[in-house]
Amino acid sequence: MDIQLKKSGIGVKEKKSSHLLYSIKQNLFAYAMLIPAFVAMLCIHFIPMMQGIYISFLNLNMMTMTKFLGAPFIGLRNYYEVLFNPDSLIRTGFWYALRNTGIYTFIVTFSTFALGIILAMLVNREFRGRGIVRTALLMPWVVPSYVVGIVWGFLWRQDSGMINIILHDWLHILSEKPYWLLGRNQIWAIIIPTIWRGLPLSMILMLAGLQSISPDYYEAADIDGANGWQKFWNITLPLLKPILAINVMFSLVSNIYSYNIVAMMFGNGAGIPGDWGDLLMTNIQRNSFQLWQFGPGAAALMIVMFFVLGIVALWYAFFKDDLVVK
Amino acid sequence: MAKTGYFESMKRKKKMKNTLSNILLAIMVVLSLGPIVFMVMTSLMDHNAIATGKWIVPNRFSNYVEVFEKLPFGIYFRNSLIVCSCVMIVALVIATLAGYALARYKFPGSGFFGILILSTQMLPGMMFLLPLYLDFVKIKEATGIQLTNSIPGLVIIYSAFYVPFSIWIIRGFFASIPGELEEAARIDGCNKFSAFIKVMLPLAVPGIIATAIYIFLMAWDELLFAWVLLKDANVLTIPVGIRAFIAYTTARYDLLMAAGSVVTVPVLIMFFTMQKKFISGMTAGAVKG
């Protein structure tokens, strides 16, 4: 009995492996088509990534740069330097950048999608000039993000910036002109332009989602006497959730790695430690390529990647039921 | 009687809601367009007037001439066009092949490859940039091939860098074409490759165009890699050129706004001629998930 079972087990295994070989042979064409993409990803994504992980354990800086991967191995010292060393400027900068990026990512992602849904619902009605309004609302998306950084950097200026002129001189909302590009306000100076540019995309996605909802649901709700809010919470939002799920994730990740707008707005002065205008990517870029501290830079990147991994896991737990497995 | 009163109040409520929505929409349109209009208007104003925040008639077209004289903006523009076009072609070819294979065939490892593609999207670009920069320096030392501070180096990195996301979009397009068409072509005597080229590829053209625009726009907007890899004025792309201009000279906002307007225009033309196709391409992938 026992032997028989074993035998049959082996038999199955053999059959499976030959089947595997067979289906590989059958699909040689598909593998050939994948080769260029695989080589590209191997050379530019995966090999550098492995090197990056290794560099995070090396004492690699301007002095040892010529040795590259032969630089002295120092174990977890870089991680200590970035996370805990109280005397290290890199540590202070990193923690502030982490705080800023957290606030920035949360507010930007949340507001972009909340406003995107509102805007999509406003645009989804019947009214004259709908095409023109939609096109006008798409315009910010077309502006390259580095241009967004320059233009808003100009708009935010204290004395002659347009925003202060409008808020103080014209509308009298503010009693004095605040410094947007200094201190605590910096974070708003980078959050608002990012939302401004991200809103059109989220509007389009939400609009596509809204239009895929059958009007029957709303008619049924009307018959049952549901009001606008109830319809929104019980029909619109649950049915938008699958689209929201995947795009919230992309938005979270891309905002954590946000670079262009901040770099352009604050130029090379971005991110003195303690600065509210410094994000993780500007911080790490400066440590790695201006201070030539590659080791701590790679360690910081590893830490950021673990954070992102954690966020992805959280996201997955939250939206698990809405993801359609294809 | 009471019933008509109820309906009338409902009607009034609905009308008020509609007006409120229109006002909100109008505010959003103004907020969306404001900064862009402001950029174009300031690009036509005198430098000194801008510095003091005064409003004057925007009529100085000489700023646009000065941009090309003060900055080597023509060179930046040329470099950006070369980089973006090359990247678009290379990445598109690679991604089309792979996207087709992934959409049309199910084979051992196809699921794994899909996960690989998604995982690259979760990683920071800096993670690749940092070792690649050092690799490029080493390659230069070993073979003399210049990859830092050169346009080919940037093209190689960008092309490979945009491949995963492009595969992801194109795969969706190929998946929406019925596979029976390919089988019919096979029966008519095409081999797998010629069935792909002659039958499937022409059907996917709208999707491929949408992806091409997407790649172009991403490359047009890339600052981080270019900022680290390029140093000499004759190889800089537009974003780096403008950033260098901000960093090393006193702020001339009139020129910056003119430059901003000039770089936004090609993107604008590209976008609005293809708006419908592009948006349907973007949202098709999104709705399918």
- Amino acid (one-letter) located at A308: V
CB-based burial label for A52 (10 Å; 0-12, 13-18, 19+): buried
- Report which of residues B286 and A44 the model is more confident about: A44
In angstroms, the first-to-last Cα distance of chain A is: 41
pLDDT one-digit tens code per residue, B6-27? 777 778 888 888 888 889 999 9
- pLDDT beyond 60 at B286: no
Predicted local distance difference test score (pLDDT) of residue B288: 46
Min Cα–Cα distance to chain A from B128, Å: 5
- A279 is written with which tokens? 């994000």
Angle value at C-alpha A256, between B172 and A307, nearest 5 degrees: 100
Residue B223 contacts residue A264 (beta carbons within 8 Å): yes
Instruction: Name residues 156-195 of chain A within 8 A of B (Cβ).
Output: 159-162, 165
Domain range enclosing A278: 93-322
Tell me, yes or no, if B172 comes closer than 8 A to chain A by beta carbon: no
CB-defined contacts A:B, below 8 A? 259
pLDDT one-digit tens code per residue, B166-180? 998 888 888 888 878
The ranges assigned to domains in chain B are 2-42, 63-288
Among B34, B270, B289, B132, residue whose Cα is nearest residue A212: B289
B257 confidence band (pLDDT: 50, 70, 90): confident
Is the CB of A122 less than 8 angstroms away from the CB of B21? yes
Q: What is the CA radius of gyration of chain A?
A: 26
From CA A165, how far away is CA A291, in angstroms rounded? 39
pLDDT one-digit tens code per residue, B22-44? 899 999 999 999 999 988 888 88
Q: Which residues of B touch A209 (CB under 8 A)?
A: 287
Predicted local distance difference test score (pLDDT) of residue B250: 67
Mean pLDDT score of chain A: 83
Angle value at C-alpha B152, between B148 and B154, nearest 5 degrees: 60
Please, how many CA atoms are within 13 Å of residue B207, restricted to the half-sphere of its CB?
24
What's the CATH number of domain B63-288, 1.10.1660.10, 3.40.50.1820, 1.10.3720.10, 1.10.10.10? 1.10.3720.10
- Report which of residues B45 and B56 the model is more confident about: B45
Does residue A225 lie in a domain region? Answer: yes
Predicted local distance difference test score (pLDDT) of residue B281: 65
| Residue of chain B whose alpha carbon sits nearest to that of A40 | B160
Predicted local distance difference test score (pLDDT) of residue B53: 67
Residue A301 contacts residue A288 (beta carbons within 8 Å): no
Predicted local distance difference test score (pLDDT) of residue A199: 92
Does residue A120 lie in a domain region? Answer: yes
Please say whether the dihedral angle defined by the alpha carbons of residues A240, A246, A249 and A254, taken in this order, is positive or negative.
negative
Predicted local distance difference test score (pLDDT) of residue A86: 80
* ipTM reported for the complex, 2 dp: 0.85
Q: Which residues of B touch A165 (CB under 8 A)?
A: 53
**How many domains, chain A?**
1
Predicted local distance difference test score (pLDDT) of residue B284: 61
Predicted local distance difference test score (pLDDT) of residue A73: 82
Does residue A15 lie in a domain region? Answer: no
Distance of CA A131 to the CA centre of its chain: 30
Residues of chain A with pLDDT under 70: 1-17, 267-274, 323-326
Q: What is the CATH number of the domain that holds A298?
A: 1.10.3720.10
- Amino acid (one-letter) located at A162: M
From CA A326, how far away is CA B168, in angstroms rounded? 13
Is the CB of A260 less than 8 angstroms away from the CB of B126? no
DSSP string, A50-105: HHHHHHTTB--BTTTGGGGGGSPB-TTHHHHHHHT-TT-HHHHHHHHHHHHHHHHH
Does residue A216 lie in a domain region? Answer: yes
pLDDT one-digit tens code per residue, B137-155? 888 888 888 888 889 989 9
- Read off the pTM: 0.86
Tell me, yes or no, if B263 comes closer than 8 A to chain A by beta carbon: yes
Angle value at C-alpha A180, between A177 and A185, nearest 5 degrees: 120
Please, how many CA atoms are within 13 Å of residue B243, restricted to the half-sphere of its CB?
30
- B259 is written with which tokens? 């430059």
Angle between helices A280-289 and A294-319 (to 10 degrees): 160
pLDDT one-digit tens code per residue, B187-246? 888 888 888 888 888 888 888 888 888 888 889 989 889 988 888 888 889 998 888 888
From CA A235, how far away is CA A219, in angstroms rounded? 11
- pLDDT beyond 80 at B278: no
Burial state string for B167-180 with b = 16 or more CB within 10 A and e = fewer than 16: bbbbbbbbbebeee
From CA B118, how far away is CA A48, in angstroms rounded? 17
Three-state SS at A293:
strand
